[in-house]
Amino acid sequence: MDLKKIDQIIKSNAEKVSLFSQRPLWLKDSLLREKYLDFLEPHGDSYHSDLCPLFSFEIDNIGIIDYFSIVSMRDGVYPLLRFFSLNPLPNDSDCFIIVDDSLAPLVPVTWLDKTLYRRLVFKGEKKICENLMLCLHGDFFSTPLDLLEEELEKMLLMADRLKQVFGFLYFPVPLGEERLALYKSCSEKITMLIAKVVRKFNIEFTMCDFSELIGLQASKIHYHFFNPLKFYVSDSYLDHYFFQKGATPLSLHSLVGDGIYVPVSHQHGFEIYAKKNEMTLPPFEINKIMNVQNLEQYKSGNFEDIFLTTEGFKDWAFDEACRLKKLDC
């Protein structure tokens, strides 16, 4: 697909953005949606974009996307694999989905002609700052400890002028299949490991809460969302919040020019492009792992029994996320 066609698709969606912003008109209330948006808060908070960003678990019927020309899937590996498992074939509408370009190998061959890709790009002034705001999601699937230590050391070696790191670790509401004690243990282990690595570089380390986080003068800090596996989310609200406020990323794509640029703020936006990717998962491999009992739990209406998938599917998705990370290295 050429750039002219992509530009036409994006422009045709502009008149539908106002409808997208009025979600109660077309989006049904869902316990599944409520539960997982709470779990992903604040990374899953909504933001405005002409690309119509949402998570696939927010919709219970693929036909809903027919209202729009494009829908940008904010999914990480786990919910995206679930989406393709439930929808091995695209519907007959003209709607295209947009996925994070790092997740391209997960797109089944049946969806290639209906999929565009996005990369987050920074157009603002790239300043060298002495302070870093490091955001993490306190869940072992999002923040494996072995990856945390390895990636954090690489990051600090690149940022040699840092004097202080502010850590914001969001402690998510347990989904129910894990004990609260496990989450507390996760939070403590992540915090201790960050402190150990940061102090090894003679950098001051301070944990802060959300009110302190948004109180920082963004224009004088580097911002980084530590999300190496992109397990739950590939498009975080906090990225847009801090870049809009003037924060500088430690590392982020500059405009490449091989796609259509769609701004989110004067500082940053997305570059949208199309590509054919050879490393795809055949739909049948995804489908045979999906356990339909999960859908029965969803229909039961019991909040504590509602999960995106079975534990076996979640473990498989984690293995796929680790595989993608290795491919990206």
- Write the pLDDT tens digit of every residue in 72-120: 999 999 999 999 988 888 988 789 999 999 999 999 888 999 999 999 9
Q: What percent of the chain has pLDDT over 70?
A: 85
pLDDT of residue 281: 59
Considering the domain boundaries, does residue 233 fall inside one?
A: yes
Considering the domain boundaries, does residue 48 fall inside one?
A: no
Considering the domain boundaries, does residue 324 fall inside one?
A: no
Identity of the highest mean pLDDT range in 148-152, 234-238, 280-284, 311-315 = 234-238
At which residue do the structure tokens 């534990």 appear? 311
Instruction: Please provide the average confidence, as pLDDT, over all residues in the chain.
Output: 83
Q: Which of 270, 262, 192 is nearest to 234 (CA)?
A: 270
| pLDDT per position as a tens digit, 195-216 | 889 888 888 988 888 778 777 7
Considering the domain boundaries, does residue 91 fall inside one?
A: no
pLDDT at 183 over 70: no
Of the pLDDT bands very low, low, confident and very high (cuts 50, 70, 90), residue 217 is: confident
Considering the domain boundaries, does residue 226 fall inside one?
A: yes
> What is the mean predicted confidence (pLDDT) over 126-140?
85
Identity of the highest mean pLDDT range in 105-119, 134-148, 205-219, 293-307 = 105-119
What is the domain range of residue 184?
A: 131-250
> What is the mean predicted confidence (pLDDT) over 19-48?
86
pLDDT at 291 over 80: no
Instruction: Give pTM, 2 decimals.
Output: 0.90
> What is the mean predicted confidence (pLDDT) over 249-275?
86
pLDDT at 297 over 60: no
> What is the mean predicted confidence (pLDDT) over 254-279?
83
Considering the domain boundaries, does residue 215 fall inside one?
A: yes
CATH of the domain at 167: 3.40.50
pLDDT at 178 over 70: no
Of the pLDDT bands very low, low, confident and very high (cuts 50, 70, 90), residue 285 is: low
Of the pLDDT bands very low, low, confident and very high (cuts 50, 70, 90), residue 31 is: confident
Domain count, the chain: 1
Considering the domain boundaries, does residue 202 fall inside one?
A: yes
Tokens of 23: 């979600």
Considering the domain boundaries, does residue 159 fall inside one?
A: yes
The residue type found at 120 is L
pLDDT at 282 over 80: no
